[in-house]
């Protein structure tokens, strides 16, 4: 079994390499984002251990690039508890599992073995409502085959609505899930972003898929307006 470790903390990477080698794995190391992406593209690994904060290219961009190219190598992300990102982001972007630093080698080994048992599973992760398709791993949105460019916040809002398609979701729910849970600003920001979203996913296509539900919030439907 051949593994790739992408980790810029050289001593940690080397310690993991030694430990995994003693368990019978063949382990390659990369210490920068670009080197890691290149290695993962050039070599077929059984699993990749990927740090998030890397020089040159973050672990998230590496996952996006690999999944965007339909490379489904099992990926274990290493996240820092106080980091800019969290575990949900890692899984949304197409990681298979994550470990929060600091972690024990025994736990890492168990997680890697579990990943290897599962093997490569192409992710049918796309969300589809009518002809609107959102791919959380590749971070793309399409309507009827046309690519739609969204800002990260618009993307999160659309993903939230698509995961609850057909249900009315309140502004408070949207604020809580799409904005920070402790967001103290004006709740009208939801209306503003729903407006942005409609201008991108509905208006150009003559649709009204994001409906206002009086007194309740919004609902994404497959109905053609
Ligand atoms: Ca790092």
CATH number at residue 67: 3.40.50.2300
Range of the domain at 12: 2-118
User: 29 or 222: which carries more pLDDT confidence?
Assistant: 29
Total-model pTM: 0.58
Q: What is the CA(221)–ligand 1 centre distance, in A?
A: 42
Q: What is the CA(78)–ligand 1 centre distance, in A?
A: 9
Per-residue pLDDT at 60 exceeds 80: yes
Task: Tell me whether the omega of the peptide bond preceding residue 102 falls within 30 degrees of 0, making it cis.
Answer: yes
Q: Is residue 225 part of a domain?
A: no
Mean pLDDT in residue range 195-204: 96
Q: Are residues 108 and 132 in the same domain?
A: no
pLDDT in tens, 93-116: 778 888 888 899 999 999 999 999
pLDDT in tens, 149-171: 999 889 989 998 998 889 999 99
Give residue 85's pLDDT.
59
Q: Domain boundary at 63, 83, 118, which?
A: 118
Q: Are residues 61 and 35 in the same domain?
A: yes
User: 158 or 80: which carries more pLDDT confidence?
Assistant: 158
Q: What is the CA(113)–ligand 1 centre distance, in A?
A: 23
Q: What is the CA(9)–ligand 1 centre distance, in A?
A: 6
Q: Are residues 48 and 112 in the same domain?
A: yes
Per-position DSSP letters for 12-26, written without gaps between them: HHHHHHHHHHHTT-E
Give residue 225's pLDDT.
44
Structural domains in the chain (count):
2
Give residue 82's pLDDT.
59
Q: What is the CA(159)–ligand 1 centre distance, in A?
A: 28
User: 105 or 120: which carries more pLDDT confidence?
Assistant: 105
Per-residue pLDDT at 34 exceeds 80: yes
Specify whether the CB–CB gap between 179 and 160 falls below 8 A: no
Q: Are residues 151 and 215 in the same domain?
A: yes
Q: What is the CA(54)–ligand 1 centre distance, in A?
A: 5
Q: What is the CA(57)–ligand 1 centre distance, in A?
A: 11
Q: Are residues 164 and 98 in the same domain?
A: no
């Amino acid at each position: 079994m051949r593994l790739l470790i992408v980790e810029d903390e050289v001593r940690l990477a080397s310690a993991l390499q030694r430990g995994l080698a003693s368990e019978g794995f063949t382990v390659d190391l990369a210490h920068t984002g670009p080197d890691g992406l290149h290695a993962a593209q050039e070599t077929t690994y059984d699993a990749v251990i990927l740090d998030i904060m890397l020089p040159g290219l973050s672990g998230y961009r590496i996952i996006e690039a690999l999944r965007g190219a339909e490379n489904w190598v099992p990926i274990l992300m290493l996240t820092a508890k106080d980091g800019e990102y969290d575990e949900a982001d890692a899984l949304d972007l197409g990681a298979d599992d994550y470990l929060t630093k600091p972690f024990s080698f025994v736990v890492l080994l168990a997680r890697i073995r579990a990943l290897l048992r599962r093997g490569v599973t192409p992710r049918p992760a796309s969300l589809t409502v009518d002809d609107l398709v959102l791919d959380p791993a590749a971070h793309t949105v399409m309507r009827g085959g046309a690519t739609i460019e969204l800002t990260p916040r618009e993307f999160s809002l659309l993903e939230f609505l698509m995961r609850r398609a057909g249900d009315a979701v309140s502004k408070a729910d949207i604020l809580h899930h799409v904005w920070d849970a402790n967001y103290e600003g004006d709740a009208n920001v939801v209306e503003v972003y729903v407006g942005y979203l409609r201008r991108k996913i509905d208006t150009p296509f003559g649709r009204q898929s994001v409906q206002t539900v009086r007194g309740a919030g919004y609902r994404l439907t497959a109905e053609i307006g």
